[in-house]
């Protein structure tokens, strides 16, 4: 996908400010702020946190961007096509006093992912990645699913994560380490029968990727962890009423909120989680 649709909230040829909750043309507010601590294996150094979030324009991704900004991260919002939604997320990041770049990206495209990380470098060395862009595809029995939809889910949810992680590892290795958080799903172990077994299979792959990659890059000062949400109130569901309908199947009696997932992600990226790697953190209300 072309990066002509990139909307800059840092330095660049187009600059924007936030006023009255909207992004308007003008000079960007560059809030460098105090340097934050970044965990690099057994050592901790002082460096501004710059985190790339894919699928950052809505749902869990948007909540993650807002939480990271509140916790001192400069944020790179990767989004598929909704530039207006990405701009709203960028506004929330700027309102928190942090810097932001939004980038249109197809995470299954190697060149597009390279452009995403190249744009991210405008904010400084990348210190973290949140792999969040995903699709569920057909909701129903596997026997009735179309192969194109199955392949699309695998391409976005697995190949896309691997491509993004590969580029992040290359950058993080050069700059001294950092952290990756993959967004999985409780479906990885529940299987989601009668709904989307193919989607559950892709998330099981994400769990395995997390465990293996964590071991592979630990010596490079890179931590790799995973958050596995349960049923969350987002636009991800084809049926908007699905979370409410399934509330009685959740031990806590309610679906989760995107902000509850964002808190877990932020912790795993923080120095407080400096000894956590290869972890799959289930945030699912007990399911």
pLDDT tens across 193-226, in order?
A: 999 999 999 999 999 999 999 999 999 999 999 9
Q: CB-based contacts of 15: which residues, under 8 Å, 6+ apart?
A: 8, 9, 25, 26, 27, 28
pLDDT of residue 240: 66
Q: Domains of the chain: which residue ranges?
A: 3-20+35-283
DSSP class of residue 239? S
Would you say residue 19 has pLDDT above 90?
no
Strands of the sheet containing 7-9, edge to edge, are 7-9, 100-104, 74-79, 50-53, 128-131, 178-183, 222-229, 280-283
pLDDT of residue 239: 57
Would you say residue 18 has pLDDT above 80?
no
pLDDT of residue 17: 34
Percent with pLDDT over 90 in the chain: 77
Q: Does domain 3-20+35-283 have CATH number 3.40.50.720?
A: yes
Would you say residue 285 has pLDDT above 50?
yes
Binned at pLDDT 50, 70 and 90, residue 247 comes out as confident
The average pLDDT across 245-271 equals: 94
Binned at pLDDT 50, 70 and 90, residue 243 comes out as confident
Would you say residue 47 has pLDDT above 70?
yes
Would you say residue 1 has pLDDT above 50?
no
The average pLDDT across 281-287 equals: 97
pLDDT of residue 236: 57
Residue written as token pair 């992040």: 168
Decide if 68 contacts 53 (C-beta within 8 A). Answer: yes
pLDDT of residue 46: 65
Rounded distance between C-alpha atoms, residue 192 and residue 52, angstroms: 29
Decide if 113 contacts 168 (C-beta within 8 A). Answer: no
The average pLDDT across 120-146 equals: 96
Q: Compute the mean pLDDT over every residue in the chain, rounded to the nearest whole number.
A: 86
Q: Which spans in 191-241 are helix H?
A: 197-217
Q: Which residues are catalytic?
A: 199
Predicted TM-score (pTM) of this structure:
0.85
pLDDT of residue 7: 39
């Amino acid at each position: 996908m072309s990066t002509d649709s990139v909307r800059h909230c840092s330095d660049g040829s187009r600059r924007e400010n936030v006023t009255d909750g909207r992004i308007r043309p003008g000079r960007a507010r560059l809030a460098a702020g105090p340097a934050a601590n970044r965990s690099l294996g057994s050592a901790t150094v002082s460096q501004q946190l710059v985190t790339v979030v894919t699928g950052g324009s809505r749902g869990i991704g948007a909540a993650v961007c807002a939480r990271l900004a509140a916790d001192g991260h400069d944020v790179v919002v990767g989004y598929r096509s909704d530039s207006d939604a990405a701009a709203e997320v960028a506004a929330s990041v700027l309102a928190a006093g942090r810097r932001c770049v939004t980038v249109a990206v197809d995470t299954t495209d190697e060149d597009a992912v390279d452009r995403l990380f190249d744009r991210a470098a405008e904010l400084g060395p990348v210190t973290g990645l949140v792999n969040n862009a995903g699709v569920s595809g057909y909701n129903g029995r596997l026997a009735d699913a179309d192969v194109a939809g199955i392949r699309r889910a695998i391409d976005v949810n697995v190949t896309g994560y691997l491509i993004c992680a590969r580029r992040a590892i290359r950058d993080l290795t050069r700059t001294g380490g950092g952290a990756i958080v993959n967004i999985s799903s409780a479906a990885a172990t529940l299987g989601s029968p009668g709904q989307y077994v193919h989607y559950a299979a892709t998330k099981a792959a994400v769990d395995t990727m997390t465990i293996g990659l964590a071991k592979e890059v630990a010596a490079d000062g890179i931590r790799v962890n995973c958050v596995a949400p349960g049923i969350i109130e987002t636009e991800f569901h084809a049926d908007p009423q699905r979370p409410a309908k399934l509330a009685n199947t959740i031990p806590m009696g309610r679906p989760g909120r995107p902000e509850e997932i964002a808190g877990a992600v932020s912790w795993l990226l923080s120095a407080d989680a400096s000894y956590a790697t290869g972890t799959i953190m289930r945030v699912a209300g007990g399911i």
